A and B are shown apart, each in its own frame.
Chain A
Amino acid sequence: KQEVTQIPAALSVPEGENLVLNCSFTDSAIYNLQWFRQDPGKGLTSLLLIQSSQREQTSGRLNASLDKSSGRSTLYIAASQPGDSATYLCAVLMDSNYQLIWGAGTKLIIKP
């Protein structure tokens, strides 16, 4: 059974720092992996989707990597800003169905 873990559960850093959020999964036979952002009391926004055949995806200051063999993905945020404060969730899609397997999220606070 696939399990997705995100460490740390919470992270607080000063504005301007580069940071890395981690996501690990136990079954490497994934179809894709998505990183989402969720602001308090709001829905989720898909930030990046990495297909199983890809190693990384980039969007602006965000870069997500995928290493299936080790069961790991990282989300790199460059030059962090207070507006980046949110909860970041990763989720993997198995090729058997439409159900995403979610991590519990990392709550990120960027201090001005």
Chain B
Amino acid sequence: DAMVIQNPRYQVTQFGKPVTLSCSQTLNHNVMYWYQQKSSQAPKLLFHYYDKDFNNEADTPDNFQSRRPNTSFCFLDIRSPGLGDAAMYLCATSRGSRRGPTNEKLFFGSGTQLSVL
């Protein structure tokens, strides 16, 4: 089945040690998103790509970077994780238009639970 796959499912890193989370999709969707979700909170959009066009949310810390080398893959890099970055990181995809959003559902991966020691 076509899907959004996130690896790893659980990631433990040390304070200040760079970490990379990965996401792949077989849906051939042109929009990919990274969300951060802390316990009992709604997801918070960090950034999204329309094709290779990167869109950073204004309040996303500089500590968070992303790469999208091709349509299928997207990476989230946390350069110097702090204790406050411990969270579930969710990747999502959708079909979009260069003119803006469309009436297409978002498809989420199962998430990567990041712990910072």
Instruction: List A residues at the B interface (Cβ < 8 Å).
Output: 31-32, 34, 41-46, 49, 51, 89, 91, 93, 95-100, 102-105
Contacts and interface: CB of A to CB of B under 8 A. Distances in A.
Interface of B: 4, 6, 31, 33, 41-43, 45, 48, 50, 55, 57, 88, 90, 92, 96, 100-101, 103-111, 113
Contacts of B48: 98
**Which secondary structure dominates where chain A touches chain B?**
strand
Given A44-B90, A89-B42, A105-B42, A31 B110 contact: no
Contacts of B45: 98-100
B34 to A, nearest CB: 12
A31 B103 CA distance: 8
B100 A95 contact: yes
Contacts of A95: 100-101
Nearest to B109: A43
A102 B96 contact: no
A96 B42 contact: no
14 contacts: A34-B106, A41-B88, A41-B111, A43-B90, A44-B106, A44-B108, A46-B108, A96-B100, A97-B100, A97-B101, A98-B45, A98-B50, A100-B106, A104-B42
